[in-house]
């Protein structure tokens, strides 16, 4: 299998607080993890690409100081939304790409179940 988990699944916080979201690949090692944001009825928007042991690569327009990404191991990446504001309320989804395996599988991204963030 290729199972990716995210924690928490739901978070409600006050404006100005920081929120940490964990993304774990449960039964495989992930060379690369990706973080997406999705607003209602809109498509997935890639925020950043995270490689284990190196700095994340952020997409244009995504503030790296606001969205801190740490990829400490081949099975764990974290996204911290610092000083969250209501406009950061969204559905945050991570995905992971498997290390090794057949060539097609190395390209496939397996998604976590997502984290719904509501900032009051």
Partner 1 sequence: GQNIDQPTEMTATEGAIVQINCTYQTSGFNGLFWYQQHAGEAPTFLSYNVLDGLEEKGRFSSFLSRSKGYSYLLLKELQMKDSASYLCAVGQAGTALIFGKGTTLSVSS
Q: List residues binding partner 1 (CB under 8 A).
A: 34, 42-44, 46, 49, 91, 93, 103-104, 107-114, 116
Smallest gap from Cβ 83 to partner 1, in A, equals 26
Give the DSSP letter of residue 65: T
CA distances from 119 to 66, 77, 87 (A): 14, 22, 8
d(CA 29, CA 96): 9
69, 56 contact by CB (below 8 A): yes
Smallest gap from Cβ 73 to partner 1, in A, equals 20
Nearer to partner 1, 59 or 63 (CB): 59
Smallest gap from Cβ 111 to partner 1, in A, equals 4
């Amino acid at each position: 299998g290729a199972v990716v988990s995210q924690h928490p699944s739901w978070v409600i916080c006050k404006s100005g607080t920081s929120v940490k979201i964990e993304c774990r690949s449960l039964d495989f090692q992930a060379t690369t993890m990706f973080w997406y944001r999705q607003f209602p009825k809109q498509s997935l928007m890639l925020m950043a690409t995270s490689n284990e042991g190196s700095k994340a690569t952020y997409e244009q327009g995504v503030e790296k100081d606001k969205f801190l990404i740490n990829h400490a191991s081949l099975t764990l990446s974290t996204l911290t939304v610092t000083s969250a504001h209501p406009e950061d309320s969204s559905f945050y989804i991570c995905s992971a790409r498997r290390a090794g395996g057949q060539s097609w599988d190395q390209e496939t991204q397996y998604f976590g179940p997502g984290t719904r963030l509501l900032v009051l």
